[in-house]
Amino acid sequence: VIPAGARPSMGKLVDLEMLVCTGGRERTVAEFRELLARGGFRLKKIFSGAAPLSIIEAVPRPGPA
């Protein structure tokens, strides 16, 4: 998860590398929420530490199966 705004971040460098090498990109918290919602999930928690990586915990939204 990259921080919003213009603050420098290792995640933003990884974002550029992913774009150039694979056509992919890093996402902000808001972008992950939207992506998860479209897939029927909700963001429960983000685990971030000193490393430039985060773990996202998502759970299914209640509804018809």
Q: Which one, of 55, 11, 54, 61, lies nearest residue 36 by Cα?
A: 61
Decide if pLDDT at 61 tops 60: yes
Strand extents, DSSP E, 7-53: 41-48
- Between 37 and 64, where is the model more confident? 37
pLDDT score, position 58: 98
Residues 6, 48: Cα–Cα separation, whole Å: 19
Q: What are the residues facing 19 on neighbouring strands?
A: none
Decide if pLDDT at 65 tops 60: no
Could you tell me the two tokens for 44? 């429960």
In terms of Cβ atoms closer than 10 Å to its own Cβ (0-12, 13-18, 19+), residue 30 is exposed
Q: What is the pTM of this model?
A: 0.64
Q: For residue range 1-51, list pLDDT tens digits in order.
A: 778 888 888 888 888 887 888 777 778 899 999 999 999 999 999 998 887
